Chain A
Amino acid sequence: DADVTQTPRNRITKTGKRIMLECSQTKGHDRMYWYRQDPGLGLRLIYYSFDVKDINKGEISDGYSVSRQAQAKFSLSLESAIPNQTALYFCATSETGPMGSMGYTFGSGTRLTVV
């Protein structure tokens, strides 16, 4: 089984619909992240969480919300999807090290298309 599991792998949804992307991990890491990847722009951070009670906005949080249901689970919601949220979404985990985040591990990604 994968260390970081994202569901679904692919999703097509209509404009205005609410959608949730889920992420679970077996790494035992305390930190979890959601990124989106657009062609030519690398990965941009949406939200991150350093423990269950800690939620922080990243570079591009507008239009998104998250929930850290447990140490191992971190979900991303699009309350009202719009076409420019079409992208590849990655969940990642890391552990707290002496020099910041260590052991970054990514899920396989969710390809979201909003029509």
Chain B
Amino acid sequence: GIQVEQSPPDLILQEGANSTLRCNFSDSVNNLQWFHQNPWGQLINLFYIPSGTKQNGRLSATTVATERYSLLYISSSQTTDSGVYFCAVEGYNNNDMRFGAGTRLTVKP
């Protein structure tokens, strides 16, 4: 199956800083999504982004499908951005979403 690698595994920021999270995948994908898991364990869908760029407030994401990576940008980070960010992909020949191991983000006040 498709391999999904996320980097960095851990990231610590001061409030107000910007960050970039990366997701690399091993094969062509039909679908790519970014999720945030808050410290209470709740998983929220951030972006559905198989290609191109999207923005939602302080968050934006870019997927370059031909080069098999996606980036999640967080600007002016806040303590509420803390948690784990997951990238998940769905291949053309698979019908299931494969998750990366996540990037654990800690934003300090």
Residues of A within 8 A of B (CB): 33, 35, 40-45, 48, 50, 56, 58-59, 88, 90, 92, 97, 99-106, 108-109
Tell me the nearest residue of chain B to A31, going by C-beta.
Answer: B95
Tally A-B pairs: CB < 8 A.
Answer: 62
B98: which A residues are within 8 A, CB to CB?
A: 45, 59
B35: which A residues are within 8 A, CB to CB?
A: 104, 106
Check B101 against A40 for contact (C-beta < 8 Å): yes
B45: which A residues are within 8 A, CB to CB?
A: 103-106
Q: How far is the CA of A109 from the CA of B42 in the complex (A)?
A: 8
Pairs A-B, 8 closest by C-beta atoms: A100-B31, A106-B43, A42-B99, A100-B30, A43-B99, A100-B90, A42-B101, A104-B45
For residue B33, CB closer than 8 A to chain A, the reply is: yes
Q: How would you classify the secondary structure of chain B's contact residues: helix, strand, loop or mixed?
A: strand
For residue B41, CB closer than 8 A to chain A, the reply is: yes
Check A41 against B101 for contact (C-beta < 8 Å): yes
Q: Which of B79-109 contact A (CB under 8 A)?
A: 86, 88, 90, 95-102
> Known: A99-B31, A100-B30, A100-B31. Contact between A45 and B101, CB under 8 A?
no
Check B101 against A101 for contact (C-beta < 8 Å): no
Q: How far is the CA of A105 from the CA of B50 in the complex (A)?
A: 17
Q: How would you classify the secondary structure of chain A's contact residues: helix, strand, loop or mixed?
A: strand
Q: How far is the CB of B61 from chain A (nearest CB, A)?
A: 15
**Cβ contacts A to B, 13 pairs, < 8 Å:** A42-B86, A42-B101, A43-B88, A45-B98, A56-B95, A88-B41, A99-B31, A101-B31, A103-B45, A103-B48, A105-B45, A106-B45, A109-B41
A43: which B residues are within 8 A, CB to CB?
A: 86, 88, 99
Q: How far is the CA of A101 from the CA of B102 in the complex (A)?
A: 20
A59: which B residues are within 8 A, CB to CB?
A: 1, 96, 98
Q: Which of B19-76 contact A (CB under 8 A)?
A: 30-31, 33, 35, 41-45, 48, 50
Tell me the nearest residue of chain B to A48, going by C-beta.
Answer: B96
